[in-house]
A = this chain, B = another copy of it.
Amino acid sequence: MSSAATNKGARTRELIVEAGHELARRVGLDGLTFGTIAAEVKMSKSGLFAHFGSREGFQLAVLEHAINAVGDAVFAPAFAQPRGLPRLSALISGWLAFVSGLDRGGCVVLAAVAEFDDKPGPIRDALVGYQHRLRRQMERTIQMTIDAGDFRADADPAQVAFEFYAVLLALHHDLRLFNDQQAVARTAQAANHVLQRYLAEPRQSAAIG
């Protein structure tokens, strides 16, 4: 019975976090207030305090949820691919598809970076930690592509990761601001340009699309 109560509480909490994630996609992590969320999930504000302790605690929970969404949609499928070029191009393709498929708002994590890059505190710390891990994971994937002989031996994984990340960032920018679907094709082409530059044996067919 204690377990049932715990499960119910956990389920309610998850519903609140999901509603917060949806709202944050439109108003940003810093635009979340207990007032709006309370109306959304038909609870009192103080009920939310009972779950999260503070607004910042709620924002951290929503951020973690947003981070997991990217992991589930992009990184998990890519890491099911064999090491080397297959995994790397799956990662970039999957990420491109994820950003392209966002509707009713953008990526909460990317938006939060812009919101919190000048606001010291736990949320900024969480973002810095996550983005560092993400970049390191890209770099490891790229190193494996070098080790597999698919990429040139003199490629710098940090440089390559930066160049891929840049392209994805620009895709999100153009898609959100211009609502321009051409950005998807441009991103695929730009990503293939990066790929071509580092391939040990340049090939004709595009690997990312």
Contacts and interface: CB of A to CB of B under 8 A. Distances in A.
Contact of A183 (B162, B167, B170): B162
A111 interface: yes
Interface stretch (A4-12, A46-54, A114-122): A114-122
Most chain-B Cβ atoms within 10 A of its Cβ — which of A25, A28, A189?
A: A28
Contacts of A193: 163, 194, 197
B166 A128 contact: no
Contacts of A118: 25-27, 105-106, 176
Interface residues on A, range: 35 or more
Interface of A: 25-28, 105-106, 110-111, 113-115, 117-119, 127-128, 131-132, 158-159, 162-163, 165-167, 169-170, 173-174, 176-178, 182-183, 186-187, 189-190, 193-194, 197
28 contacts: A26-B118, A27-B119, A28-B114, A106-B117, A110-B114, A111-B114, A113-B114, A113-B173, A113-B176, A114-B114, A117-B176, A118-B176, A127-B177, A128-B177, A131-B177, A131-B178, A132-B178, A158-B182, A159-B186, A162-B174, A162-B183, A163-B167, A163-B190, A165-B170, A165-B173, A166-B169, A169-B169, A193-B194
